[in-house]
Structure 1
Amino acid sequence: MSAPSADNRQGRGRAGGVSRAERVYLEIRDRLLRGEFPVGQRLVELQLSAEHGTSRTPIREALRRLEGDGHLERDPSGGLRPAVPSVRQMRELYDVRVVIEELLVARAAADGDRGALEELQADWATLTTDWHEGRATLHGPDFVHADEDFHQRVAAASGHETAERLLRDLNDRIRLLRIHDFTTDERIRATFAEHAEILTAVLAGDVDAAASFMRAHVLRSARVVRERVGVALARMFEVPDLTGEPPA
């Protein structure tokens, strides 16, 4: 009985306002995003618990969440291994996204729901201030959802229901990749500025500027994701040095 109660205490324990289970989840997720686990490597609870200084219960919970998020996949034997991003699919999805987003923002600038757009602008001005002043802490997935909400609200304000629905489906398919975009404060800060720029053009009714800013915003995101996914994949496919000799 003592082991389960210890696990429960560790799962509930908090450090800096974050539960141990949440901390372990974030740490393993960050290692996966950095490509620290080689392709084909099975993630073993006992080894991870030793590496992260915790019991197996928070490790098990973290692995379940990471599988649900799409970061891990099961092999035929039931083991969990890192999911390998598809670079080709990523490029194709972003090609489609930029076309849809340009259409939606142009429609919003030309004849969008001004009240909804002004409300969106106010909400993001507040979120921007809260983040800069430390009242809002946004981890990668948190900011991905916030960013998706921004784009979906622009889409809803455009009145183009078909394109709005297509964008929602597209976001579902690229969400896992987009987490790579928001792993640094620099990218979050840039995104706040880019969103403000887009909304200013939309509310001014400047269709060309709004479409241009949106296109640059999406392409910049695609480039950052491609670079970071590329770095992660390079690490995942590295051949381990079994000689024990230092690099030349």
Structure 2
Amino acid sequence: MPPQTQVKSSGSRGDAVTGKPISNTQRALGKLREMIFAGDLPAGSNHLETELAAQLDMSRTPIREALLMLEGQGLLELQPRKGVRILPISPGDMADIYDVLTELESLSAERAAIAGHPASAFAPLEASIDDMDKAIAAGNLDAWSAADDRFHRELVQLGGNGRVKAIVDMMSDQVRRARAITLALRPLPTKSNEDHRKVFQAIKDGRPDIARETHRAHRHHAKEIIVDVLEKHRLRFV
């Protein structure tokens, strides 16, 4: 296992958005997620809680609590007396996850178009699409990925169903992780930007059927691309 750089903790820090202090568990959760997405904790690797606690310069209690949350999100599994195993990315699992997200996000698009939101409510959604276009023009796939995350998050928010949001949030980390690994191996996501703008326009125009079906087709296409890449390069990710 490659050596890791120790992450120093300096006590309670404020949340970047709310300014409120965050707990050691929240900090551990955020850092461990970053390490998984960055590949510092690669798929299929095993780690002891004591090892992770030392890397983050924390006690085992917040590490343990964070690991339990990450297990619930499907990113790892806790193995009795063996520590933690970072779960590999399964093409079959990703296909199942995309099927669920497709239906829930398409429902959100439909509900957003029906809701009669004021024009100002659509500004964050439109801004995310503009940022995706700028990222593609600049060849910055990381910036595109971040803007794409915002688009899907704002879409579900506009749908106004809290239970849908909770389920999508639970699955979104696995999609982010698979996309981070496959993004450089897939075609440039210009079609994704075009699809997003069509969904946005249908929602803004109050056309729920078009919003729902356009988003469903978009997610089906994304699923085909990411599952195909995972299958072709499967040995690299397990």
Give the TM-score band, short-chain normalised.
0.5 to 0.7
Report how far residue 125 of structure 1 moved. Answer: 4.8
Instruction: Kindly indicate whether the alpha-carbon contact (under 8 Å) linking 2:186 and 2:229 is maintained by their aligned counterparts in 1.
Output: no
Instruction: Tell me the residue number matched to 1:92.
Output: 96
Instruction: Tell me the residue number matched to 2:218.
Output: 217
Q: Deviating runs (4+, > 4 A) in structure 1?
A: 64-67, 234-237
Instruction: Kindly indicate whether the alpha-carbon contact (under 8 Å) linking 1:194 and 1:213 is maintained by their aligned counterparts in 2.
Output: yes
Q: Distance in 1 between matches of 2:145 and 2:179?
A: 7
Instruction: Tell me the residue number matched to 2:72.
Output: none
Supply the RMSD in Å over aligned alpha carbons.
3.4
Report how far residue 172 of structure 1 moved. Answer: 2.3
Instruction: Tell me the residue number matched to 1:201.
Output: 202
Report how far residue 155 of structure 1 moved. Answer: 1.2
Q: Which amino acid aligns with 1:92?
A: D
SS at match of 1:205: coil
Report how far residue 127 of structure 1 moved. Answer: 1.4
Instruction: Kindly indicate whether the alpha-carbon contact (under 8 Å) linking 1:181 and 1:187 is maintained by their aligned counterparts in 2.
Output: no
1:9-158 mapped onto 2 (5 Å cutoff): 60-61=4-5, 67-69=35-37, 71-75=42-46, 84-134=88-138, 137-139=140-142, 142-158=143-159
TM-score between the two structures when normalised by the length of structure 2: 0.61
Q: Which has the higher relative contact order, 1 or 2, with Cα contacts under 8 A spaced 6 or more apart?
A: 1
Report how far residue 198 of structure 1 moved. Answer: 0.8
Q: Distance in 2 between matches of 1:225 and 1:124?
A: 21
Pair 84,156 (structure 1): closer, same or farther in 2 beyond 3 Å: closer
Instruction: Kindly indicate whether the alpha-carbon contact (under 8 Å) linking 1:143 and 1:182 is maintained by their aligned counterparts in 2.
Output: no
Q: Distance in 1 between matches of 2:237 and 2:93?
A: 18
List alignment gaps of at least 5 residues for structure 2: 6-30, 52-84
Instruction: Kindly indicate whether the alpha-carbon contact (under 8 Å) linking 1:180 and 1:228 is maintained by their aligned counterparts in 2.
Output: no
Report how far residue 87 of structure 1 moved. Answer: 2.5
Instruction: Tell me the residue number matched to 2:184.
Output: 183
Identity, in percent, stands at: 17
Deviations 1:112-159 (A, max 9, x none): 53435530344135314523542x7232xx433321211111111122
Q: Distance in 1 between matches of 2:36 and 2:129?
A: 32
List alignment gaps of at least 5 residues for structure 1: 1-42, 46-59, 238-248
Pair 117,200 (structure 1): closer, same or farther in 2 beyond 3 Å: farther
Q: Distance in 2 between matches of 1:71 and 1:234?
A: 13
Pair 230,155 (structure 1): closer, same or farther in 2 beyond 3 Å: same
Report how far residue 86 of structure 1 moved. Answer: 1.9
Instruction: Tell me the residue number matched to 1:164.
Output: 165
Q: Distance in 2 between matches of 1:228 and 1:235?
A: 11
Pair 123,99 (structure 1): closer, same or farther in 2 beyond 3 Å: same
Instruction: Kindly indicate whether the alpha-carbon contact (under 8 Å) linking 2:202 and 2:210 is maintained by their aligned counterparts in 1.
Output: yes
